């Protein structure tokens, strides 16, 4: 009975927010508020979610970009955004890890994006630039993990604090055994074709359990082949809420809007490389279109289509999906029609409430919702 009452109250709260109190948007009408208009759409892809938004733990931040002469002004609109309400960020954490790795490279005169290296104990020799490209083109987990070894968890988390980005905590690697090991592995760096040097490892702080709403989810989970009854505990997992994701994106796309100490310390060439990596689709860097179609890592607007993205549409973004949670953080620009906006959104699609069973409604509900959300926002801004 208590669970049913809590669900009813939560749905009423979501409905109240949707009907008129989207944060940062007081006294707006559906005709002028993009999120009010879009989330009231009759598109079945949106209705499947918004008829019960609390079930899907929806959070959205949309930023309208107003330009006048040489100035830029942001208008932020929120739905359900709450940094104290936990969702699993999955591969979206690769974005700040890539940026902070570039910042560290920029501060070391012996390193650049073309520097060859390998992680001690790893047979793969690569370059920093190649790993960053793989992170955005195909969301490569190993590429992310190599950069985490380069940085260490403590340095990553200090980077969030120094830039005043907001709450975030990176505690583990992705999809490897002993993912939360606090001692990183050394990197072997090539100074030239015949000379190498060792970048020492780091010993990082053990992650403290997060104390957030929704940190325990579902009614069961699998450990190997065994189904365990009870909620799945995310308290020692990575934490990267919508507000912080959006803050990182804004600092990369519009660094001039922030004080110098809140910007990322990237050279102009590095930032250009990063923006290209964020925009690129897999086929443009040599991946097969059969497996890696244009929307493989771009959910907004085109997520539920395998058609090529038009040349005049640029999407600078990073997606993530795991444990039934899909998230996309994007700056979308249409050079042909003069449309540009930023949007970060997350949605949970786990109807059976069981985690680690690989039974999630990504294709049926999650990706179509994000695709429709992006399309409707684009059409709203196009008018």
Q: How far apart are CA 228 and CA 219, in angstroms?
A: 9
Q: How far apart are CA 218 and CA 323, in angstroms?
A: 11
Query: Is the predicted pLDDT of residue 217 greater than 60, yes or no?
Result: yes
**Whole-number average pLDDT of the chain:** 94
Query: Is the predicted pLDDT of residue 89 greater than 70, yes or no?
Result: yes
What residues are paired with 68 via a beta bridge?
71
Q: How far apart are CA 345 and CA 61, in angstroms?
A: 6
Query: Is the predicted pLDDT of residue 33 greater than 80, yes or no?
Result: yes
Query: Is the predicted pLDDT of residue 81 greater than 70, yes or no?
Result: yes
CATH of the domain at 44: 3.40.710.10
Q: What is the span of the domain harbouring residue 46?
A: 2-382
Number of domains making up the chain:
1
Determine what percent of the chain is predicted with pLDDT higher than 90. Answer: 91
Question: For residues 142 and 150, is the Cβ–Cβ distance under 8 A?
Answer: no
**Looking at residue 383, what is its pLDDT?**
84
Q: How far apart are CA 47 and CA 171, in angstroms?
A: 35
pLDDT (average), residues 357-379: 99
Name the strand (E) or helix (H) holding 244: helix 242-253
**Looking at residue 176, what is its pLDDT?**
98
What residues are paired with 232 via a beta bridge?
217
Query: Is the predicted pLDDT of residue 38 greater than 50, yes or no?
Result: yes
**Looking at residue 31, what is its pLDDT?**
63
Higher pLDDT, 5 or 249: 249
**pTM as predicted:** 0.92
**Looking at residue 32, what is its pLDDT?**
78
Q: How far apart are CA 347 and CA 361, in angstroms?
A: 11
């Amino acid at each position: 009975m208590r669970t049913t009452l809590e669900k009813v109250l939560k749905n009423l709260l979501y409905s109240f927010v949707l009907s008129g109190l989207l944060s940062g948007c007081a006294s707006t009408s559906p005709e002028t508020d993009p999120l009010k208009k879009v989330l009231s759409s009759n598109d079945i892809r949106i209705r499947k979610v918004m008829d019960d938004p609390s079930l899907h733990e929806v959070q959205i931040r949309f930023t309208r970009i107003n330009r006048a002469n040489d100035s830029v002004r942001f208008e932020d609109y929120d739905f359900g955004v709450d940094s104290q309400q936990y969702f699993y960020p999955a591969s979206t954490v690769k974005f700040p890890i890539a940026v902070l790795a570039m910042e560290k490279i920029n501060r070391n005169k012996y390193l650049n994006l073309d520097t060859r290296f390998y992680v001690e104990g790893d047979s793969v020799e690569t370059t920093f630039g190649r790993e960053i490209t793989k992170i955005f083109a195909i969301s490569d987990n190993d590429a992310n993990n190599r950069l985490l070894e380069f940085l260490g968890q403590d340095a990553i988390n200090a980077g969030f604090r120094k830039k005043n980005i907001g709450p975030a905590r990176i505690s583990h690697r992705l999809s490897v055994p002993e993912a939360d090991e606090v001692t990183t592995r050394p990197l072997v760096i090539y100074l030239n074709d015949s000379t190498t040097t060792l970048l020492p490892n780091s010993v990082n702080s053990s992650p403290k359990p997060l104390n957030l709403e929704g940190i325990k989810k579902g009614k069961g989970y699998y450990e190997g082949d065994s189904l365990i009854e009870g909620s799945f505990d995310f308290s020692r997992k990575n934490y990267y809420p919508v507000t912080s994701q959006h803050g990182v994106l804004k600092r990369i796309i519009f660094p001039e809007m922030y004080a110098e100490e809140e910007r990322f310390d990237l050279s102009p060439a590095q930032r250009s490389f990063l923006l290209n990596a964020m925009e690129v689709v897999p086929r443009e860097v040599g991946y097969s279109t059969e497996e890696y179609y244009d929307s493989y890592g771009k959910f907004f607007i085109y997520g539920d289509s395998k058609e090529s993205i038009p040349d005049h549409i640029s999407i600078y973004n990073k997606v993530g999906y795991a444990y039934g949670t899909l998230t996309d953080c994007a700056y979308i620009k249409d050079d042909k029609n003069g449309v540009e906006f930023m949007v970060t959104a997350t949605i949970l699609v786990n109807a059976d409430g069981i985690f680690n069973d690989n039974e999630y409604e990504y294709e049926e509900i999650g990706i179509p919702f994000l695709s429709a959300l992006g399309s409707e926002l684009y059409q709203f801004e196009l008018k």
